[in-house]
Amino acid sequence: MFELTKIIGALIMPLSMFFVLACGAVLLLFTKWYRLGRGALIATLLAIWVLSWDPTAQRLLAPLERQYPAILEPAETLGEEPGYIVVLGHGHSLDPELPITSQANSTAAVRLLEGLRIHNQLPQSTLILTGGSVFGSTPNSEVMHQLAQSIGIEPANEVVRFATPRNTREEATRVAEFLANREGQPKGSIVVVTEASHMPRAMALFRGAGLDPVAAPTRHRVRADEADRGFHPGDLRPSAHALRKSERAIHEYVGLLWARLRGWSG
Residues of the chain within CATH 3.40.50.620 domain(s) are 74-218
Query: Average of pLDDT values for 127-146?
Result: 87
Interval 214-251: pLDDT, tens? 999 999 998 765 445 555 666 678 888 899 999 999 99
Q: Is the pLDDT of residue 5 over 70?
A: no
What is the predicted pLDDT for the residue at 246? 94
**Taking all residues of the chain, what is their mean pLDDT, rounded to a whole number?**
86
Q: What is the CATH number of domain 74-218?
A: 3.40.50.620
What is the predicted pLDDT for the residue at 227? 46
Q: In angstroms, rounded to a whole number, what is the distance separating the alpha carbons of residues 175 and 173?
A: 6
Interval 85-132: pLDDT, tens? 999 998 888 888 888 888 888 999 999 999 999 998 888 889 999 998
What is the predicted pLDDT for the residue at 55? 87
Interval 21-79: pLDDT, tens? 888 888 988 999 989 999 999 999 999 999 999 889 999 999 999 999 999 998 888 87
Confidence of residue 156 (pLDDT cuts 50, 70, 90): low
What is the predicted pLDDT for the residue at 95? 84
Q: Are 85 and 127 in contact (CB under 8 A)?
A: yes
